[in-house]
Chain A
Amino acid sequence: MLSITGLSVAYGGLHALERVSLEVRAGEFVTIVGPNGAGKTTLLKAISGAVPAAAGRIEYGGRDLGRLAAAARARLGIAHVPEGRKVFPSLTVLENLEMGSYRAEARRRRAEGLDMVYALFPPLRERRGELAGTLSGGQQQMLALGRGLMARPDLLLLDEPSQGLAPRLIEAIFEAIARIREARGLTILLVEQRVVEAVELCDRAYVLETGRIVLEGGRETLLADPRVQRAYLGA
């Protein structure tokens, strides 16, 4: 469904990504783990069109995304739940979710989508009339996830859903992701620094370090691989 070949991204002289190639098949759950500054967020931004690629090719559903703007990619069914949540703080919770279903395919089934998201994250229903900026970190993360789901995406990009959350909440968020996947059979590309939670959920994973893919493998292979711990703890 998503196929990336030789992708390089440069920010003002810095090489954030260098010749990254990876693949996500339809229905798969793929995780990219790696320490801070490895280029994980940049990779997702390149897929959703927020940063331009310096070289390489991104194909989605057999189609070259090329220079397509972010909004156009979203309309093709790619939903990006960005790092740091980026909810619309001055819109209400409900309005945030409505904006998730901005694209025409999703707008038609908005009511149905709302029911699904509220079932998944009951606190959002309770606080639907409040401004998103007043929510707690965990609730904002639920909202960001919910907003992504409202788009009825074919491909869901998740960027560090655990960031800045207390351990208890992290577990809850990962549980929700697992449930979403079961219920909807989505294709998911997750970027995380919490290795185990992320890898346990996925079918396959890549390890990204300083802009390059250094390891690739199935769930069990990676969990057993001592190199993963070394990449983080160096010991």
Chain B
Amino acid sequence: MAGGPRGRAAGLLPIALVLGAGLLLTFTLQERYHHRILTLVLVWATMGLSWNIISGYAGQTSFGHQAFFGIGAYVTVLLILHAGLTPWIGMLVSAAVAVVAAALIGFPTFRLSGIYFALATLAYPLILRIAMDFLGYQEVAIPMAREQPALYMQFRDPRANDLLCLGVFGATLLLSRAIERARLGYWLRALRENEAAAEAMGVDTFRCKMAAYMLSAAPAAIAGAVYAHVVLYVVTPDSVFGTLAIVQTLVVCLVGGIGSLWGPVIGAALMLPVSEMLDTWVGDRFPGIQGVMYGAALVAIILVAPEGLYWRLRGLRRGARPAAPPVAVVAGPGPAPAVSRAPDGGGEPLLEARGVSKAFIGLQALDDVSFAVRAGEILGIIGPNGAGKTTLFNVLNGFLPPDRGEVRYRGERISELRPSAVCRRGIGRTFQVVRSFPRLTVLENAMVGGFVRDAEPAAAGARALAALERTGLAARAGALPGSLTTLELRLMELARCLATDPRLVLLDEPLAGLSAEGVEAMIAHIRRLPAAGVTVVIIEHTMHALVRLADRLLVLDHGRRVADGLPAEVTQRPEVIEAYLGTRWLRRAEHHRP
């Protein structure tokens, strides 16, 4: 996974084995019917892998992926009809068209998320289908080319069809593997697991989704082109844009397991032979038996094993969790962490908020808040629940645009930037409730941050490991976040943030939920940050820890800056005691004071 010749080749063996098995079947199967099943398995495995890129790795469930499948089929066939272009080139053209279509579709559609994205994707194939009907392409037969069958992808020998599909399938497998192992793959999984955390860790989630979508469109188009030639012969809107196309894709992926390289392969190898055979045996008597079977498969898989067979099988042999996570490979000194860095110019504030206001419906969360953070200090921001502390962080790191006022970082106005851009400029943050990427290991969590500075997985891994060492978590690098203690989770989030090599970190209640010993450990880690060139802004609700930790305190109440100054001073101020303990406490305290 991370560097080294071994790491680079890992995972290629199973791919070679699967392709070898495909070859073996190609040359041993006798009946045409069996060859047909083989090609179907390969086509739908390809389609599944393609869907898996956007909906599996990136977690953006699409119900319209057959749009690209259909584009592949139609563009290729129409190019033959109208331009006499060989499908070998035509399918590449169609892939390019699909990629462009993905860009056009993705650009507006990725502004939507979750259910809205899924629903919107429904509409595209429907529109294409209507368009094809309207343009008079209800039935487009591929013209026979008796002279040059090979040039027009019309093989008499079924083995040639198998090889064609095997080639497309193999290429898609390799593409998927490459994505899985590249920075993009890590970032896609991170944004699937927690979009906000990914964005805060420097992942431009919009661009990542676009990249994944465009990459997934190409294999789908080629699969469509090939499908038209080896299976359909006559292309109809229903056969390529219809429900069955997306249903087969979904079934293949869901049964096999979403978000893995092998899920769609397993799913296709299992479901298509069964469905084909059912269709041949009883299809005459029971039209629709295939649909019932697919539907039943979907319902069953959701109820019984919603994670799919691949993950279920992997879960069964639990012992085989990657025993030596990439950590082992990254032995040796990684790039030096930001230990010594010239302190930023003394006078200029590192970060400055000027008159920041933010209102939500019926609530003024921030009211004209101004303050400056000096390089190398630990600034504590305190205030009771609902004082606007987290809202302030959300404005500082770009999650929320301020209604009024601005945020400047090293002299640059950053209040209009995306959080990922803010992160890339050197501002990291953690969250009040730890936002881990649950299905990524501790090391991979930190790598997501490390990729901000290094595109190479090996280098990002080294950077991540260095960050884990700084927080004392290196020993847990291969663990999943779910198995960590609260303290370890908080440290992991800190390490992930440090892996982005920040100059400033925003820590949102890093002590919440920790035991007394945990608080001490965390405080020790935070204290070390300024010496390593990292300025700290920390939100805390409870004051006692912060009084010891911070150089300076800023007190917020009801969205307003109430006080600021040295910790010992601030805690004695009446307005602070009032904000915290209420008016009556203050009166009482004054009463008791001699």
Q: What is the distance, in angstroms, from A59's C-beta to the closest C-beta of chain B? A: 28
Cα–Cα, bound, A197→B543 (Å): 20
CA–CA, A235 and B509, complex, Å: 19
Q: Is A35's CB within 8 Å of the partner chain B?
A: yes
Asked if residues A166 and B580 are in contact (CB atoms below 8 Å), the reply is no
Contact B513 A14 (CB under 8 A): yes
B544 lies within 8 A of A36 (CB):
no
Contact A36 B541 (CB under 8 A): yes
Contact B582 A13 (CB under 8 A): no
User: Size of chain A's interface in residues, with CB distance under 8 A?
Assistant: 33
Quick check: B543 and A13 within 8 Å, CB to CB? no
Q: Give CA–CA (A6, B140) in the complex, Å.
A: 73
Nearest opposing residue in chain A for B568, CB measure: A235
Question: Given A166-B558, A232-B542, A233-B543 in contact, is the A171-B486 Cβ separation under 8 Å?
Answer: no
B545 at the A interface (CB under 8 A):
yes
Indicate if B584 sits at the interface (CB-CB under 8 A): yes
Q: Are A137 and B362 in contact (CB under 8 A)?
A: yes
Which of chain A's residues have a CB closer than 8 A to the CB of B578? 167
Query: Which of A135, A230, A234 has the most CB atoms of chain B within a 10 A radius of its CB?
Result: A234
Cβ-defined partner of A35 (8 Å) among B514, B542, B547, B572 = B542
* Nearest CB in chain B to that of A197: its residue: B582
Verify B558–A194 contact, CB threshold 8 A. no
Which of A166, A230, A235 has the largest count of B CB atoms less than 10 A from its CB? A235
Q: Is A229 an interface residue (CB 8 A)?
A: yes
Name B539-594 residues within 8 Å CB distance of A. Answer: 541-548, 558, 568, 571-572, 577-578, 580-585, 588
Chain A residues in 8 Å Cβ range of B545: 234
Within 8 Å of chain A (Cβ to Cβ): is B15?
Answer: no
Report which of A36, A137, A170 forms a contact with B385, defined as CB distance below 8 A: A36
Known: A36-B542, A233-B544, A233-B571. A210 touches B515 (CB 8 A): yes
Number of contacts between A and B (CB, 8 Å)?
A: 90
Interface check A164, CB cutoff 8 A: yes
Residues of B within 8 A of A35 (CB): 541-542
Q: Does B582 lie within 8 Å of A170, measured CB to CB? A: yes
Query: Which A residues are CB-close (under 8 A) to B385?
Result: 36, 160, 163-164, 193
Known contacts A233-B571, A234-B544, A235-B547; A137/B513 CB under 8 A: no
Chain A, range 122-160, C-beta contacts under 8 Å to B: 135-137, 160
> Restricting to A170-209, which residues have a CB under 8 Å from any CB of B?
170-171, 193-197, 200
Instruction: Give chain A interface residues in 214-229, CB to chain B under 8 Å.
Output: 223, 229
Chain A residues with CB under 8 A of B583: 167, 171
Q: Which residues of A contact B547 (CB under 8 A)?
A: 233-235
Instruction: Decide if A37 is an interface residue (CB 8 Å cutoff).
Output: yes
Tell me which residues across on chain A come within 8 A of B584, comparing CB atoms: 196-197, 200
Q: A212 to chain B: closest CB distance in Å?
A: 9
Which residues of the other chain, B, contact A14 by a CB distance below 8 angstroms?
486, 513
Q: CB-defined interface of B511-526 with A at 8 Å, one 1/0 digit per residue? A: 0111110000000000
29 A–B pairs (Cβ distance < 8 Å), ordered by A: A13-B483, A13-B485, A14-B486, A14-B513, A15-B486, A16-B513, A36-B541, A36-B542, A37-B509, A37-B542, A136-B362, A167-B578, A194-B581, A195-B581, A195-B585, A196-B584, A210-B513, A210-B514, A210-B516, A229-B585, A232-B542, A233-B544, A233-B571, A233-B580, A234-B544, A234-B571, A235-B543, A235-B571, A235-B572
